[in-house]
Amino acid sequence: MKTVVITGSSKGIGLGLARECLKRDCSVVMSARGGKKLDKEVANLDNVFGIDRVMGKTCDVTDVAQIQQLWDASKKKFGNVDFWINNAGISNDTALLCELDPVQISSVVDTNLKGVIFGTQVALRGMLAQGWGQIYNLEGFGSDDTMFEGLSVYGSTKRALRYFTESMAQEVDNEPVVIGSLSPGIVITDFLLDDLRKMDPEKLESIKPVYNALADTVETVTPFLVENVLKNEENGKRFIWLTKDEANRRFEDENYYNRDFFTERGL
């Protein structure tokens, strides 16, 4: 039985990854900054998969000491950590840089970039000591150089994260550790919907067709990501759900434009 640690896993993609790992007979350590939501989701999964296979641990990924505590607690509970997924991330409001609060900018950079760097550092040290392991970082908008007005800060962190992941894969090339990345594409989560609700209504209406064509649900994307992670042995691998070829195919298929992710979600 493999053990998987997933940061930011009390909701959204992280929670979906945790559920899919449990379906495939892994043990899972879930973490998030907020304890109540985390406790609720751990209890839900306990009821389905058994209390001995799921553990929750609060962790602020901007604090390297808390990440170390997450590693130590995972090792104590399950003996070893086979996979570590740096999923925790936040976005800034969709707004021009001049309109953003500097506090929000710092929070996005600290969580999305420093949090991944710290998580990778802690997990890598632990995995080198135990002699094996795999680390995966979640890409996002901006990783492939795509730009959108109002997401310069968020996109910059994800673009930097891709560089960091590729650099780390080279750094461990002769070590018994695999480092790679996961690209889920556009996923309909509370994280995304909250951001869209803050958007100018006219701009929101203009991008809805694009989201309907390219977006997917957590339940659609996470099985693909987990299946590839669990069978992978290649260092530096990128698992991409929404490739450029697939995106182009969808733009040519009216069935995707006819989807509606928004009406039933109050948008």
Above 90 in pLDDT, residue 237? yes
* pLDDT (0 to 100) of residue 204: 87
Phi/psi for 47 (5° steps) reads: -65, -30
Count the helix, strand and coil residues of the chain and give each as a percent rounded to the nearest 5: 55, 15, 30
pLDDT band at 75 (very low <50, low <70, confident <90, very high): very high
Average pLDDT estimate for 4-32: 98
Q: Please state, rounded to an integer, the average pLDDT across all residues of the chain.
A: 94
Average pLDDT estimate for 97-106: 93
Average pLDDT estimate for 246-252: 94
Above 80 in pLDDT, residue 150? no
Question: What pTM was computed for the model?
Answer: 0.95
Amino acid at 87: N
Number of H helices, E strands in the chain: 11, 9
Percent pLDDT > 70 in the chain is 100
What CA–CA distance (Å, rounded) separates 205 from 59? 37
Amino acid at 26: C
Average pLDDT estimate for 191-198: 83
- What are the tens digits of pLDDT across the range 53-62? 999 999 999 9
* pLDDT (0 to 100) of residue 94: 78
Average pLDDT estimate for 127-137: 98
Above 80 in pLDDT, residue 20? yes
Average pLDDT estimate for 92-113: 92
What CA–CA distance (Å, rounded) separates 135 from 106? 25
**Domain annotation for the chain: domains and CATH numbers:** 3-189+218-244 (3.40.50.720)
Above 90 in pLDDT, residue 92? no
What CA–CA distance (Å, rounded) separates 236 from 229? 12
**Catalytic residue selected from 136, 154, 256, 257:** 154
What CA–CA distance (Å, rounded) separates 92 from 25? 36
* pLDDT (0 to 100) of residue 239: 98
Say whether 154 is catalytic: yes
